[in-house]
Amino acid sequence: MSANQLAISYLVAAVSFILALKGLSSPASARRGNLYGMIGMAIALLVTLAVIYSHSKNVLPILGGMVVGGVIGAIVARRVQMTQMPELVAAMHSLVGLAAVFIAVAAVNNPEAMGLHTPLTGLHKAELFIGTFIGAITFSGSVIAFGKLSGKIRSAPVVFKGQHWLNLTLGIVMIGFGVAFFMADTSYEWPPFIVMTALAFLLGFLLIIPIGGADMPVVISMLNSYSGWAAAGIGFSLDNPMLIIAGSLVGSSGAILSYIMCKAMNRSFISVILGGFGGEVSEAAGDAQKKTVKSGSPDDAAFLLSNADTVIIVPGYGLAVARAQHAVKELAAKLTAKGVTVKYAIHPVAGRMPGHMNVLLAEAEVPYDQVFEMEDINGEFSQADVALILGANDVVNPLAEQKGSPIYGMPIIEAYKARSVLVNKRSMASGYAGLDNPLFYMDKTMMVFGDAKKVVEDLVKAVE
Amino acid sequence: MTAGVDPIVFYLTIFVLAIFVGYHVIWNVTPALHTPLMSLTNAISSIILVGAMLAAGPAQLDWGGWLGVLAVTLVSINVAGGFLVTQRMLDMFRKKEPKSGEKA
């Protein structure tokens, strides 16, 4: 295969990746999009394999690795639960990061194998440096994110004095070693390269530990972005435009998702990165004056629901934790059968990662045309008879519209505008933001305490 | 006119244009599919498998070559896992069941 043929094949692959992402603009075209992605990947891998075969005939180790990895990946993809998607994605980011580091190390060790000039030119060294440190940060950051998301390590932020200065210093020192690597002769390039890589691993770790559980949707999007930039960096090092294109697509995707998540939480990107927020801040800032809440039984709630014309369900992560999605779907079906219009309202940070709640509902076979994004449905609450809030708190807190409140400006689901509001919660504990929620004390609000799954199942029975 | 231009400039051109393409394509992705978007982009970033294969490709593998094989294995997990889990998720997104309903 000539170099030109190879380059054209890579171009076809790159275009397939763009088409893959384009497919995700609607659920109807999304499966075709994913297919484009697979085709692009297959083309890229096959031509690369062909080139390697024509050069060295030594493709068995590669094929072996691909089979082993492919089987593991297929098993994981089949077994993973949808509530575990954030962990899975974090784990996969870490693999991309680590692989980027390995590739860069291999390139420094044997530039010729990668089709690079020996000894490495200064430019390639600089590019390898960038690919390596982004890869290393992605790896260790994702490992921490994985640990926090899967509950293997405490998700509370780890903060200590001088943290930011330490990170900044480490970052500068790391770049210093990068420059040393850039300047070094062939025989002296390893020490600075190794130190720089080690510092990058450490930095990834230090950057993520201060970020708390509630900010994980941002972190995971950010690491998604990093993994893309790492791929682009490797693309620059290997003079491969396809890697540059694919990496930039992923990099910008992650960056946009981070932006969307920050906006939905009303937090600036910088403050998320600096961390120290989003731990399990408990107790609603001491305002223990007894405000009265009206609480009711599932039967009372069922009565309200059955007599409504329109019900909007607002699911929060508490719902997913209780694994109540299927029960909710059943409830919705029952109500629909009685002539009630049922819709779902999703806040962008309702789950543990962007779009997580949509997937959880889809898994429970909730038709996606009943599921609406916050902006699209907020206008409808004033006409809704009942807003049924399941395991959500901060995202429906009207304090967000009050100047001076800590969450002022955060976009919320305007459930309080509904004629009556049903809230299911386990207790009166406050949400991540540690704020009391005036919605719970409104006259038209009825609280139904208990485990979401249990309560919804009772509702299903009571609606009959 | 392009004679004498360093290849890096072409790569930078591609890079910048690809970011613009990415920006516009991604804003069009419906928020409901943001999780599949992440798993799909993850699978796509596994395109560095191409680099890993090159590293693992020499006729005689030294330690660096074996590191390449390890990288191939790791990223292959992502390729298979990323695309398949995306497929699995997308298969769940269905409209209201047609009257007969293939699934209850």
- pLDDT score for A101: 95
Residue of A nearest to B7 (CA): A239
Length of chain B: 104
Question: Cα(A145)–Cα(A155) distance, rounded to whole angstroms?
Answer: 9
- pLDDT score for A276: 58
pLDDT digit string (tens) for A138-192?
999 999 999 988 888 887 778 888 888 888 999 999 999 988 888 888 778 888 9
Chain A to chain B, count of Cβ pairs less than 8 Å apart?
Answer: 378
Burial class from Cβ neighbours inside 10 Å (0-12, 13-18, 19+) for residue A300 reads: middle
Considering only CB atoms, B7 lies closest to which of A17, A21, A239, namely A239
- Chain A residues inside the 8 Å CB shell of B29: 21, 24-25, 253
- pLDDT score for A199: 94
CA distance A271 to chain B (A): 23
- pLDDT score for A275: 64
Considering only CB atoms, A103 lies closest to which of B19, B39, B55, namely B55
pTM of the predicted protein model:
0.89
Question: Cα(A261)–Cα(A294) distance, rounded to whole angstroms?
Answer: 33
- pLDDT score for A286: 44
AA identity, residue A203:
L
- Chain A residues inside the 8 Å CB shell of B24: none
Length of chain A: 464
**HSE-up (13 A, CA, CB side) for residue A324:** 28
CB contact under 8 Å between B30 and A110, yes or no, is: no
- pLDDT score for A433: 65
- pLDDT score for A277: 55
- pLDDT score for A320: 82
Select which of A394, A436, A451, A458 is catalytic.
A394
Question: Cα(A10)–Cα(B87) distance, rounded to whole angstroms?
Answer: 23
| Cβ neighbours for A160, distance < 8 A, ≥ 6 positions apart | none
Considering only CB atoms, B77 lies closest to which of A95, A356, A367, namely A95
CA angle A394/A398/A400 to nearest 5° reads 70
When comparing pLDDT for A350 and B96, which is higher?
A: A350
Residues of chain A with pLDDT under 70: 275-290, 430-434
Q: Following DSSP, what letter does each residue of A189-209 receive, concatenated?
A: SHHHHHHHHHHHHHHHHHHHT
| Cβ neighbours for A333, distance < 8 A, ≥ 6 positions apart | none
Distances (CA, A) of B35 to A174, A254, A261, A277: 33, 11, 12, 24
- Chain B residues inside the 8 Å CB shell of A93: 42
CB contact under 8 Å between B89 and A82, yes or no, is: yes
CB contact under 8 Å between B84 and A77, yes or no, is: yes
Q: Does residue B40 contact residue A24 with C-beta atoms inside 8 Å?
A: yes
H or E element that contains A170: helix A163-183
- pLDDT score for B102: 41
- pLDDT score for A282: 40
ipTM value of the model? 0.91
Confidence of residue B80 (pLDDT cuts 50, 70, 90): very high
CB contact under 8 Å between B53 and A227, yes or no, is: no
CB contact under 8 Å between B28 and A22, yes or no, is: yes
CB contact under 8 Å between B93 and A114, yes or no, is: no
Instruction: Give the three-state DSSP class for A387.
Output: strand
Q: Following DSSP, what letter does each residue of A285-323 receive, concatenated?
A: TT--S-----B--HHHHHHHHHT-SEEEEEE-HHHHHTT
- pLDDT score for A434: 66
pLDDT (mean) for B61-77 = 94
Is A299 labeled as catalytic in the residue annotation?
no
Q: Does residue A104 contact residue A131 with C-beta atoms inside 8 Å?
A: yes
- pLDDT score for A147: 92
